Amino acid sequence: MTEAFDRDLAEAYAPERLATASDEELEELFQAASRVVFYAHAPAHAVLLQRTAQSLDTRSKLTDEHRRDLYRAWVVTRQFDNANALARTHPDLQLQALPPIPTADAPGAGRVVVWRPADDAEGLSAQVVEQDGPTRVVVLSHPRCGFSQRAIAAIEADPVLSARLGHALWLAPPNGSLDLRDVQAWNRAHPGARLSYAVAMGDWPQFDSWATPVFYFMREGRVVATVTGWPREGRARELHDAFALMDAREDP
């Protein structure tokens, strides 16, 4: 999608092209940029979305839904200053005010930064985590995902899985809202599965899906087993099998 967008549509977002586009064409360009931002999370595409929004605004065609889409684009591409500026200028939209982006020292090879929410405050802290260690389990999850809720209930009812996944890195994928209060509530309810935020999908090129829940079993930075989803019958057997595979790889 990104390749097709950049190849076939990028030139249409030049200011002079936007100025001569019809209202219908502007709407189509806005939706195209919004869609590619949703899937690819590229900051440059969010800038094109903003440029189109400005063109719509000059014609009094910019709606509140456009503004919400633009806000979500700023959040998912981690441009919090732009998101907060939009929230301040349109308080009627009741957009979430975002905390400052935390900073961290350069993580170095085999490491990546994640954001960890404070327990009660509105802040985030930057934490460096290892990707290239001998073993690592990363769980993509989200409080508003019913499948994630079903998964954590089953895991906490299984003493073995609960203990082993207590050492996992639980990550909320990037999306158009931090859902900070929801994540804090999850962390209070599930202290053995505390969620942090993935900063960018590009930090984890090993992952081929950012759905929730997904369990990635990693060794020395490579994914060696994946368990996806949580149907009504659960995935406990698959998780036990993945841990058995990891244990076998650790044997001398």
State what percent of residues in the chain have pLDDT above 70. 98
Q: What is the pLDDT of residue 133?
A: 81
pLDDT digits (tens, 9 = 90+) for 180-204: 999 999 999 999 999 999 999 999 9
Q: What is the pLDDT of residue 251?
A: 58
For the entire predicted model, the pTM comes to 0.89
Determine the Cα–Cα distance for residues 75 and 37; give it in Å rounded to an integer. 10
User: Beta partners for 218?
Assistant: 136, 223
Token pair belonging to 132: 């290239």
Q: What is the pLDDT of residue 107?
A: 80
Hey, what's the torsion of the CAs at 86, 87, 93, 98, to 10 degrees?
A: 130
pLDDT digits (tens, 9 = 90+) for 35-73: 999 999 999 999 999 999 999 999 999 999 999 999 999
Question: Average pLDDT over the chain, rounded to whole?
Answer: 94
Q: What is the pLDDT of residue 250?
A: 66
Task: Please give the residue that has the higher pLDDT: either 104 or 111.
Answer: 111
Whether residue 85 has pLDDT greater than 90: yes
Q: What is the pLDDT of residue 117?
A: 95
Whether residue 81 has pLDDT greater than 90: yes
Whether residue 252 has pLDDT greater than 60: no
Question: Average pLDDT in the 117-122 region?
Answer: 85
**CATH 3.40.30.10 matches 111-250:** yes
pLDDT digits (tens, 9 = 90+) for 136-187: 899 999 999 999 999 999 999 999 999 999 999 999 999 999 999 999 999 9
Contact 236, 158 (CB under 8 A): yes
pLDDT-wise least confident of 9-13, 30-34, 119-123, 179-183: 119-123
Given strand 169-172, what is the order of strands in its sheet? 124-130, 111-117, 195-198, 169-172, 136-140, 214-219, 222-228
